[in-house]
């Protein structure tokens, strides 16, 4: 049995807390929000996971020391916008080589750093890994079969975390491609906004399929330019995560996109969804990375134009459709000219 702290009391962190508790581990849940901790203590249920009852022996705390000291693993489950602040806050309490697995998805707009890079910068003494894949909290909390990937620099660390999380309904693979895993998990949120916008405009399955397939091409194009591996973008944290985020109403990015397609601003959409919409935060960062690495991201570029430049969603779709003619796979040769 391991001592595990979930850093962040949102729905994803709570779903993983339930999973890890069922695996026999001693679980502490920490949140910087006192009201959130009081709600969890009182109700033993998260409002975003109705029906998922939290065990009586699960510990809920807002005390930093209680959450960090003596723990075998810290699960960093705060929204991407708060990753740096939280890592900085807890840094002095983290022991040398203490393991941290980040489960949030995003890219920091100002620095263009992935979340694991932020954690490593703020807590250099930690052993940092990532966990990502097609995994809605609503389904993981209910024990619906899910498959996911742990990425780490060390095989030993990846396998340690794999063993803590894996059970008959939660299959865990391991990978050394930490960068590719994080880029896939972050950039798919921007494409999911595009998929939601298309739904909000009343488009159909053909449009959704086009956005998913061309979207993963964009994600892989940028990811490979940055050093990620092609195979990662073909796997669970690439095409797998993209499919589930573009297709499911559990996806806050898709739901926000639908509202934007119906004419709302991204601020109005996020307020209505009542959850952090990570794709909004990653969209600008994706375009900055595209410029830095000289990569074309036409779908993500149009999402940015709709979100931040006042472009109408239907015009963005038209501009995508009327781009210059292209070869789908440029590296393939022709039998005849």
Tokens of 227: 């050093």
Per DSSP, the chain holds a count of helices (H) and strands (E) of 16, 8
DSSP letter for each residue of 220-277: HHHHHHHT--HHHHTSIIIIIHHHHHHH-TT-HHHHHHHHHHTT--HHHHHHHHTS--
Residue pair 193/303 in contact (Cβ under 8 Å)? The answer is yes
| C-alpha closest to that of 303 among 293, 290, 292, 316 | 316
Calpha distance 26→86 (Å, rounded): 22
Q: Which residue has the tokens 């740096």?
A: 84
Would you give the DSSP letter of residue 337? -
Is 155 a catalytic site residue? Answer: no
Active-site position among 99, 188, 208, 284: 188
Calpha distance 18→24 (Å, rounded): 10
What residues are annotated to the active site?
188
């Amino acid at each position: 049995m391991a001592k595990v702290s979930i850093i962040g009391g949102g729905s994803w962190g709570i779903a993983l807390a339930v999973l890890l508790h069922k695996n026999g581990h001693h679980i502490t849940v920490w949140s910087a929000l006192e009201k959130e901790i009081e709600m969890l203590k009182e109700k033993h249920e998260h409002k975003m996971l109705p029906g998922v009852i939290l065990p009586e022996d699960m510990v809920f705390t807002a005390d930093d020391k209680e959450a960090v000291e003596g723990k075998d693993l810290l699960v960093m489950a705060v929204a991407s916008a708060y990753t740096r602040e939280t890592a900085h806050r807890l840094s002095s309490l983290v022991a040398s080589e203490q393991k941290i697995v980040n489960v949030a998805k995003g890219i920091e707009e100002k620095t263009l750093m992935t979340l694991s890079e932020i954690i490593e910068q703020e807590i250099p003494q930690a052993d940092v890994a990532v966990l990502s894949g097609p995994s809605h909290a609503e389904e993981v909390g209910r024990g619906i079969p899910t498959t996911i990937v742990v990425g780490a620099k060390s095989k030993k660390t990846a396998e340690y975390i794999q063993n803590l999380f894996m059970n008959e309904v939660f299959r865990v693979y391991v990978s050394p491609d930490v960068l590719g895993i994080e880029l896939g998990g972050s950039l798919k949120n921007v494409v999911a906004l595009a998929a939601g916008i298309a739904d909000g405009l009343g488009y159909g399955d053909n449009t959704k399929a086009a956005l998913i397939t061309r979207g993963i091409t964009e994600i892989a194009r940028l990811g490979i330019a940055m050093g990620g591996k092609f195979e990662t973008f073909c796997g669970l944290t690439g095409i797998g995560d993209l499919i589930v985020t573009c297709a499911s109403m559990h996806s806050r990015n898709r739901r926000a996109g639908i509202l934007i397609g119906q004419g709302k601003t991204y601020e109005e959409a996020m307020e209505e969804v009542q959850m952090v919409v990570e794709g909004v935060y990653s969209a600008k960062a994706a375009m900055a990375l595209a410029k830095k690495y000289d990569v074309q991201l036409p779908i993500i570029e149009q999402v940015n134009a709709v979100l931040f430049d006042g472009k109408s969603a239907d015009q963005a779709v038209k501009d995508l459709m009327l781009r210059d003619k292209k070869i789908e796979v440029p590296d393939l040769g022709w039998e005849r000219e």
